Amino acid sequence: MRSATRFLSLSNLHLFSLVTATTQREQPPLPGIKWLEVERSVLARLDIPDLPLWNVEDQIGEDLPNALIFNFTLSHDNRTLILNEVPILPLENAYVPPRLFAYQTPETLTQFENDTIADYNSCPLFSLDYSRILPQAEDSSQKFYNYTPSLELDILGASIAAYSTLLPASSQRFIRITLSQLDSRETHISLVSFKIVDISLQERGAEYQFQSPESLKQCTAWSWLCADKPGYPWYQYIYRQHFDKYGRVHSMRWLVHFKWATLIEVYGVVQVAVITTAVGIVALSLLGYGIYRICKRAQDLWQKRIGDVDAWTADEEIGGLLDDIEEEEEDDYDRRGEVEMEDWTGSQRQKPLPPPPAPPPVPPKAGEHSRS
């Protein structure tokens, strides 16, 4: 009975998988989208109105319709989304955004959709400026239970050889690609496995505001990152002249890494290590000496304060004794003044003696009446 039930469950699961696959294949393809492998690899054709068709032989741009081709593919372990062989999700290093490239093709939308897969390796390869938006958090320190990132990629500029141009046309579209987490448990973002569930070309719209390099906030060494937004991955507008292998040009972080790399290039790793160690020892010595001086100064002040308190206490005690002595001297002086006085001639005289006591009464004789 259990074997029959298990067989029916497997049969139903297999039938459901076939129906799902058939439904996916029967879905009408979106304009400019061509699947190479369902849920793993897809091509997107993006019309670029402001970009001329590059003539490789003459090295000039011609005013002809053209488009850029974007190949989105998941890595073999399904953990990284790759665009034209460059990882874009999750980011390998958010401090140094990836440099993106795309092939230019003169084929029309009809040719792209109906023809077999063309070989774009012989087409001109453009370097790209872009805007990268991922509304959902992508902090590499977080874990996710159901991670469904929707990446929006807007091409802001392109260059090839000595030619470079911005792409501000409001009629240009941007790419939106949505992934879904395969693991149904809480997983660190670096270990999440994905599948591509949707991709489309979206209009910029009438309210679109193009952000040129000049419109962005100027970067100075007063800022550590010169970030476009406060959270990870900090940068949204990726212009190639603003970034190099050390990060955002002219930021404090870029300055530190650039100076460090320059020292290593000039002096070598060993000498830089020796110099750094020596400077560290000197700095620590100076810091320790400064702390010692501060502690010594505080100790001296404390001892001086204690000495002042002791001296004040001794002065109070001595002052009390002196007051007592002065009071005794004043009492003696007063008693001497009562015994002898000095007149205006300087001679001394005795004070008048008190009157002698009265004689006792005489008793009356016999026969005499007492006197009252």
The encoded tokens of residue 37 equal 């492998």
- The answer to whether position 38 is within a domain reads yes
Distances (CA, A) of 299 to 78, 138, 290, 311: 65, 53, 14, 18
| 143 close to 189: Cβ distance less than 8 angstroms | yes
End-to-end CA distance of the chain: give it in Å, rounded.
Answer: 156
- The answer to whether position 331 is within a domain reads no
Question: Which residues form the domain of 206?
Answer: 26-210
* Confidence (pTM): 0.67
**Number of folded domains that form the chain:** 1
Give the closest residue to 31 by CA, choosing from 196, 179, 175: 175
- The answer to whether position 268 is within a domain reads no
- The answer to whether position 154 is within a domain reads yes
Q: Tens-of-pLDDT digits for all 372 residues of the chain?
A: 444 444 334 344 343 333 334 334 445 567 899 999 999 999 999 999 999 999 988 889 899 999 999 999 999 999 999 999 999 998 988 999 999 999 999 999 988 888 766 778 889 999 999 999 987 777 766 777 778 889 999 999 999 998 999 999 999 999 999 999 887 777 777 788 999 999 999 999 888 899 999 999 999 999 999 999 888 899 999 999 999 999 999 999 999 988 888 888 777 777 767 777 877 888 888 888 889 889 888 888 888 877 766 667 666 666 666 666 666 666 665 565 555 555 545 555 555 666 777 676 666 655 555 554
φ and ψ at residue 264, rounded to 5 degrees: -65, -40
- The answer to whether position 258 is within a domain reads no
- The answer to whether position 289 is within a domain reads no
- The answer to whether position 294 is within a domain reads no
- The answer to whether position 106 is within a domain reads yes
